[in-house]
Each structure stands twice: as C-alpha cells, then as structure tokens.
Amino acid sequence: MTRANLIGTAAAIIAAAGVALFAAGVVRQQPDVGQFVSAANAADTNAPIYYQDPDGKPLYSSTPKKTPDGRDYRAVPAGADISFDEPGSPPGMNATETRADRKIKYYRNPMGLPDTSPVPKKDSMGMDYIPVYDGDDSDDGSVKLSPGRIQRTGVKSEPAALRRIRTTVRTPGTIQLDERRISVIAMRAESYLQKVADVTTGSRVAKGQSLMEIYSPAVSSAAAEYIATISSPVTGGAGPYGRGSRQRLVNLDVPEPVIAEMDKSRSVPVTIQWSAPRDGIVLQRNAIEGMRAQPGDVLFRIADISLVWAMVDVAERDLGSIAVGLPVSVRARSYPGRKFNGLISVIYPQLNKETRTARVRIELANPDLALLPDMYVDAEIDTGTPTPVLSVAESAVLDTGSRQAVLVDKGQGRFEPREVKLGRRGDGYVEIRDGLAESDAVVTSANFLIDAESNLKAALKGFAEAGNTQDAGSGDKTMGAKP
C-alpha cells in the first residue's frame, strides 16, 4: 500500500473518532488555535496527529485536551499508532521508495476479489488497487509474508514430532454374568427332597456346601449295585464291573464326595447329600422340602460373580479403532470415583441396524463382588497407538473434505501448502501418514488466513495465464490470417 493510502487510512480513523476532516487529507484544528497541520507534514515532522485519553479509552481529540480530573490527553504522533513505513524499511522511507528497484507486475483488488489491472486503479468503493511486485508471488505455490504481517496475524508454527496418539472411546453398558460360571442343579432321576438347607435366592454359597438331602430310588439302586460290586471277591472291586457301577452313579450326577464316602463305608446311604458345585450366589431356588422332583427340574441355579462381563455398545464409526485385548476402564454409577480395569474379550459380529452400534464384551475382575448383574456402567476404551507416530496439532490441518493439507514454514516468512494423509486423532493431535518429515515446522495458528492468501494468488495466476493464452491465440490467428 502506498504512502498516500496509509495516510488516508489514518485520516479515516481520525474521522471515525469524531475529528473534523477536510478535503485533500488536511486535518484542521479548532478555530481558536488558528493553524492547520497536514497529515503528510505530521508524518515527516513526527508531530501529533491526534490526542487520546491517557487511560487508553476510545476517546480522541484533534487538539490538546484534558480529562475531567485535569490530566492531559496523550499526543499520538505519526507512526505510533499506524505504521507508515513497510516493515524493515529505514525511517522516513516509504514502501514505494523501498521497492523503487523492483518492478510492479500488476495491481490486485484490495478486497481480495480475483480482479487485476496492469495500471493503477480504484474499485467501486474508491479504494486503490494494491501493487504486486516481482518476487511477491512465487511459482511453487508458496506464500511470503512480511515479519510485521506475521506478527499482526498471530502466525505460530510447531514442528511435527513423534507422539503416541491417545484416543478414548466412551460408551455406556451393563454388567452381565459370565455364561461359563453358571451352574444348574437338576435331578436326572425321579427324586424326593427330604430336607433343604437354609439357602435362599441371593445367598452366597461355597463349593461343597450342602444344599439339600434327597432320596431317589434310582440312585439308591445304583449305589447298592456299586457297593455289591466293589465288595464282592469275585468281581475284584476295581475290575470292569466295579468301574461300570461307579460310572452309573456318575451318570446320575451323584456328587463325588458321596461316592467317595461309599467307597470308604461300603454302605448304601438312605439319603444323598447334594452340595454346591461352585462358589457363587444363588440366582434361583425352586427346591421345596418334601417335594417330588422330576428328571430335568431345575432346583438351584448358582453363578460365580468373581469375574463378570461388561456389555457395552460401541458406535459404528469407532469400530475400526478397537480390537480384542485393548485395555478398558469401567466406572460403575453406584461407586463414584472407583475404577474397574479390564480387557476387551469379544467384539460381536452383528450390528444393530436401529442404533448402528455393535456389542462389545469386556471381562472384569470382581474380587469383592461389588459389581452386580444388570448394573449400569460407563466404559472408556483406550484406542491409542502402541508406538509413537508422526503427528501435528489438529489446528494445523486444513481439511476441505476431499483434501487435507498443512502449511509448512520454510523460514524467511515463506509458507508452502503441502497435501498430507491423515491417520488417527486424539488429545488434540492427528497422525500424519504421508507428506511430512519429522521436525518439519507447520503453521498451527492463523493458517486459514495464509491459505486464503495462497488460494487468492493461485486464482490471480490462473486469470493471468488465461489472459496470456487468449492473447497468444489472438496473435496466432492474426499471424495466420490471409492478407
């Protein structure tokens, strides 16, 4: 922007603050002062161009003034509020003088529109077109900014580095029983319940604990045959006949301690003590003292809850980032602040078409039996990369949907757009799979402004190339035309 344009801009600011302006960019003081100060002279002599409230409030005056409490307004000279010189130019030398040895290629629209002119021009609002010098735009698609512009726009760069991308998938679920740790006690022959232990639904039982005493004609007959076989000197006890009789008791699901007691006492018990097959809690009790149980009737149902499952629903978009064996932290709503750690054991191969989620099973240790079936939980699945990967801040990526790019800081105020391929995201960073090398500095702040500048230059260059092509085509036709 030329010196005159900058001075005009300063005059516009003064006008917005309520200072009277005159034509030709002249600022007039109050009539009682009786003198005029031009903006150009103010810039050359460093004289005040206006006065501002000493506390920095948006209060201005074209003449010396005092605050209500008697303090003087602060004088603002040319250059203190608005820089009239191009960054890096000597004091008193404007941009035109600094670039006197450089050729103006064309003038571009001051509002960023794809419109150029070979000569100085004004737009519809009276703003001067901005000159573009040799070297301001490069053929490699990079953008060059002055140090002052970089500072004003807040451009920040950060090198690409190796990091472990940590992404957490959060999903709700419920606690379910481990199907492998459920036992059902049912008779395999007609039986009569002589006595039932003081065990109810919800009671915790230990393996081998007596649950009931039953009498079964079929079991008593098999037990008598077994005792006769092992006691007979002809069969030899441990021969094939003895093993066959014992197997019959096993097939009738007689508990092993009862068979061992028969081997020791060599007598047939009147009733059979039926014990719990595992540690756990009683989920169901159908046994009633004196009842007759038919084969297949479920009398007790016992589950071991020292190891339980957390069944969670993972959204379809997150399925690609989880795998069997990933660590999971589960928090129960009944125990705020407490965390249960587990691993993903199964990812079910069905997708719920209504909710677009898949069922995932997590195995959790439950030594103090705090987690109960159907309890609500919230799971956090750590899907981070096991090893560090090349990554940059998410704010560095310019994503248009079909194109992902970053702006590489080449130094000396030059920035190069570079297309990249992305990977996982997490913790404010994104994995770069292709397009960058370690320690490449990328712009993480104000990159959209630089990208807009790059797109503008590309558009202007396209218009210029199209114009040159049309001119060359016209020349060819003229050369080839017949006289």
Q: Are 447 and 395 in contact (CB under 8 A)?
A: yes
Gap between the Cα atoms of 25 and 387, Å rounded: 64
User: Which are the contacts of 241, defined by CB distance < 8 A and separation ≥ 6?
Assistant: 229, 235
Gap between the Cα atoms of 57 and 73, Å rounded: 11
Indicate the residue type of 468. Answer: N
Q: What is the 3-state secondary structure (H, E, C) of the chain?
A: CCHHHHHHHHHHHHHHCCCCEEHHHEEECCCCCCCEEEHHHHHHHCCEEEEECCCCCCCEECCCCECCCCCECEEEECCCCCCCCCCCCCCCCCHHHHCCCCCEEEEECCCCCCCEECCCCECCCCCECEEEECCCECCCCCEECCHHHHHHHCCEEEECEEECCCCEEEEEEEEEECHHHEEEEECCCCEEEEEECCCCCCCEECCCCEEEEEECHHHHHHHHHHHHHHHCCCCCCCCHHHHHHHHHHHHCCCCHHHHHHHHHHCCCCCCEEEECCCCEEEEEECCCCCCEECCCCEEEEEECCCEEEEEEEEEHHHHHHCCCCCEEEEEECCCCCCCEEEEEEEEEEEEECCCCEEEEEEEEECCCCCCCCCCEEEEEEECCCCCCEEEEEHHHCEECCCCEEEEEEEECCEEEEEECEEEEEECCEEEEEECCCCCCEEEEECHHHHHHHHHHHHHHHHHHHHHHHHHHHHHHHHHHCCC
Environment class of 385 (CB within 10 Å of its CB; exposed 0-12, middle 13-18, buried 19+): middle
pLDDT (tens digit per residue) in 218-271: 999 999 988 888 877 665 555 566 677 888 999 998 888 888 888 888 888 889
Q: Are 322 and 167 in contact (CB under 8 A)?
A: no
Indicate the residue type of 204. Answer: R
CATH superfamily of 169-178+305-382: Efflux pump adaptor protein, beta barrel domain (2.40.30.170)
Gap between the Cα atoms of 111 and 265, Å rounded: 106
pLDDT at 78: 63
The CATH class for the domain spanning 143-164+388-457 reads mainly beta
Could you tell me the pTM of the whole model? 0.56
What order do you get walking across the sheet with 191-196 strand by strand?
272-275, 210-215, 191-196, 292-293
pLDDT at 9: 44
User: Which are the contacts of 162, defined by CB distance < 8 A and separation ≥ 6?
Assistant: 388, 389, 390, 391, 438
Domain 143-164+388-457 and domain 169-178+305-382 have a common topology: no
Nearest to 173 by CA among 384, 426, 373, 383: 373
Mean pLDDT for back-to-back runs of 10 residues, the chain (483 residues)? 43 40 36 41 62 78 86 77 43 44 77 78 85 64 69 81 86 94 93 94 92 93 88 61 81 89 88 91 94 94 95 92 91 91 94 93 93 94 82 86 84 83 85 88 80 59 53 45 38
State the Cα torsion 475-476-479-481 to the nearest 10°. Answer: -110
Gap between the Cα atoms of 56 and 321, Å rounded: 54
For the chain, give the number of residues. Answer: 483
Nearest to 375 by CA among 175, 173, 172: 175
pLDDT at 198: 93
User: Which are the contacts of 419, defined by CB distance < 8 A and separation ≥ 6?
Assistant: 403, 404, 405, 435
pLDDT at 481: 39
Nearest to 8 by CA among 110, 116, 119, 100: 110
Gap between the Cα atoms of 466 and 391, Å rounded: 39
pLDDT at 240: 65
Gap between the Cα atoms of 319 and 226, Å rounded: 58
Q: Which two tokens stand for residue 295?
A: 């084969």
User: Cα dihedral sign for 430, 431, 436, 440?
Assistant: positive
Nearest to 440 by CA among 463, 466, 462, 417: 417
First to last CA, the chain: 48
pLDDT at 31: 38
Q: Are 153 and 446 in contact (CB under 8 A)?
A: yes
Residue whose pair of structure tokens reads 């516009």 in the numeric block: 12
Domain locations in the chain? 3-77, 102-133, 143-164+388-457, 169-178+305-382, 188-296
